[in-house]
Structure 1
Amino acid sequence: MTSVHSEPHDVSGGRPAPPPLWERSEEDLRAHTAEVLHRARARSTALTEAVDDDDLVRQHSKLMSPLVWDLAHIGSQEEIWLVRDVGGREPLRPDIDDLYDAFQHPRATRPELPLLGPSEARGYVAQVRSKALDVLERTTLSGDALTGTGFAFGMIAQHEQQHDETMLATHQLRRGDPVLRAPEPPRPATGDLPDEVVVPAGPFAMGTSVEPWALDNERPVHEVFVAGFALDTTPVTNAAFAAFADDGGYRDSRWWSAEGWAYRSAHDIVAPRFWRREGDRWWRRRFGVDEPVPDDEPVMHVSYYEAEAFARWAGRRLPTEAEWEKAARFDPATGRSRRYPWGDGEPEPRHANLGQRHLRPAPVGAYPDGASPLGVHQLIGDVWEWTSSDFRPYPGFAAFPYREYSEVFFGPEHKVLRGGSFGSDPVAVRGTFRNWDYPIRRQIFAGFRCARDLTAAETAAGV
Structure 2
Amino acid sequence: MTTAHPTGALSDEALRAHVASTLQRSRDRTTGLTAGDEGDLTAQHSPLMSPLVWDLAHIGNQEELWLVRDVGGREPVRQDIDELYDAFKHSRASRPSLPLLTPAEARGYVGTVRAKVLDVLDRTTFGGHPLREGGFAFGMVAQHEQQHAETMLATHQLRLGAPVLSAPPPPAAAAALPPGEAVVPAGTFTMGTATEPWALDNERTPHPVHLPAFAIDTTPVTNGQYQQFLADGGYDRPELWSARGWEHRVQAGLTAPQFWERGADGSWWRRRFGVHEPVPAQEPVVHVCFFEAQAYASWAGKRLPTEAEWEKAARFDPATGRTRRYPWGDAAPTAEHANLGQRHLQPAPVGAYPAGASPLGVQQLIGDVWEWCSSGFDPYPGFAVFPYAEYSQVFFGGDYRILRGGSFGTDEVVARSTFRNWDHPIRRQIFAGFRCARDLTADELG
Q: TM > 0.5 between the two?
A: yes
Offset of residue 143 of structure 1: 2.3
Partner of 1:12: none
Which residue of the other structure, out of 357, 362, 366, is the alignment partner of 1:380? 366
% identity of equivalent residues: 68
> Alignment partner of 1:127: what SS?
helix
Which residue of the other structure, out of 264, 268, 274, is the alignment partner of 1:288? 274
Q: C-alpha root-mean-square deviation of aligned residues, in Å? A: 0.8
Which residue of the other structure, out of 103, 121, 129, is the alignment partner of 1:144? 129
Question: Quick one: which amino acid aligns to residue 330 of structure 2?
Answer: D
Counterparts of 2:277 and 2:173, CA distance in 1: 21
Offset of residue 4 of structure 1: 2.0
Would you say 1:351 and 2:349 are equivalent positions?
A: no
Partner of 1:134: 119
Would you say 1:122 and 2:107 are equivalent positions?
A: yes
Partner of 1:307: 293
> Alignment partner of 1:317: what SS?
coil
Counterparts of 1:438 and 1:141, CA distance in 2: 37
Partner of 1:57: 42
Counterparts of 1:216 and 1:205, CA distance in 2: 16
For 1:198-213, list aligned pairs within 5 A: 198-213=183-198
Offset of residue 267 of structure 1: 1.2
Cα shift readout 1:352-386 (whole Å, capped 9, x = no counterpart): 00000000000000000000001000000000000
Partner of 1:319: 305
Which residue of the other structure, out of 2, 5, 10, is the alignment partner of 1:4? 2
Question: Quick one: which amino acid aligns to residue 247 of structure 2?
Answer: A
Partner of 1:15: none
Question: Quick one: which amino acid aligns to residue 84 of structure 1?
Answer: R
Q: For structure 2, which runs of at least 5 residues remain unmatched after alignment?
A: none
2:376 and 2:397 in contact (8 A); partners too:
yes
Between 181-190 and 324-333, the greater mean CA deviation after superposition: 181-190
Counterparts of 2:383 and 2:331, CA distance in 1: 27
Partner of 1:334: 320
> Alignment partner of 2:121: what SS?
helix
1:5 and 1:336 in contact (8 A); partners too:
no
Offset of residue 305 of structure 1: 0.3
Question: Quick one: which amino acid aligns to residue 144 of structure 2?
Answer: H
Partner of 2:241: 256
Counterparts of 2:177 and 2:170, CA distance in 1: 18
Counterparts of 1:169 and 1:412, CA distance in 2: 23
Which residue of the other structure, out of 7, 25, 44, is the alignment partner of 2:30? 44
Offset of residue 321 of structure 1: 0.2
Offset of residue 280 of structure 1: 2.0
> Alignment partner of 2:339: what SS?
coil
TM-score scaled by length of structure 1: 0.95
2:178 and 2:361 in contact (8 A); partners too:
no
> Alignment partner of 1:334: what SS?
coil
1:385 and 1:449 in contact (8 A); partners too:
yes
Cα shift readout 1:297-318 (whole Å, capped 9, x = no counterpart): 0000000000000000110000
> Alignment partner of 2:403: what SS?
strand
Which residue of the other structure, out of 89, 105, 120, is the alignment partner of 1:104? 89
Partner of 1:184: 169
Counterparts of 1:4 and 1:351, CA distance in 2: 20
Counterparts of 1:252 and 1:189, CA distance in 2: 35
Which residue of the other structure, out of 385, 399, 403, is the alignment partner of 1:417? 403
Counterparts of 1:315 and 1:251, CA distance in 2: 17
Cα shift readout 1:367-413 (whole Å, capped 9, x = no counterpart): 00000001000000000000000000000000100000000011141
1:146 and 1:152 in contact (8 A); partners too:
yes
Once superposed, which parts of structure 1, at least 4 consecutive aligned residues long, lie more than 6 Å away? none
2:385 and 2:393 in contact (8 A); partners too:
yes
Which residue of the other structure, out of 224, 234, 242, is the alignment partner of 2:227? 242
Offset of residue 25 of structure 1: 1.0
Which residue of the other structure, out of 384, 395, 407, is the alignment partner of 2:393? 407
> Alignment partner of 2:210: what SS?
strand
Which residue of the other structure, out of 420, 427, 430, is the alignment partner of 1:434? 420
Partner of 2:433: 447
TM-score scaled by length of structure 2: 0.99
Cα shift readout 1:405-454 (whole Å, capped 9, x = no counterpart): 00001114110000000000000110100000000000000000000000
Counterparts of 1:54 and 1:412, CA distance in 2: 36
Counterparts of 2:93 and 2:398, CA distance in 1: 23
